[in-house]
Amino acid sequence: MSFDDASYICDACGEEVVIPVDFTQGTTQDYVEDCPVCCNASLIHVEITPDGDVRVWAEPEQDRY
């Protein structure tokens, strides 16, 4: 497996959260994860470019409905 770290800012508490990025799971990844600081759920989006650059952002999980 190929992993690298990336980070996003939690919309609920403003903390930077570092997450592992699994390059074997495809170039576009979406999943729900609780913030380790405030425990609010966020929808995490990961995009990996052909060059291997990683873009990560989050939005409150309830906003997706």
Domain residues of the chain, as ranges? 3-64
- Is 70 exceeded by the pLDDT of residue 63? no
Under 8 Å between Cβ of 3 and 20: yes
**Structure confidence by residue, pLDDT tens digits, 7-26:** 999 999 999 999 999 999 99
Average pLDDT of the chain?
A: 91
Task: Give the confidence band of 50 by pLDDT, cuts at 50, 70, 90.
Answer: very high
Rounded CA-CA distance 12/59 in Å is: 9
Rounded CA-CA distance 24/42 in Å is: 22
**Residue 46: exposed, middle, or buried by beta-carbon count in 10 A (0-12, 13-18, 19+)?**
buried
**Model pTM score:** 0.83
Q: What average pLDDT does this structure show over 18-46? A: 96
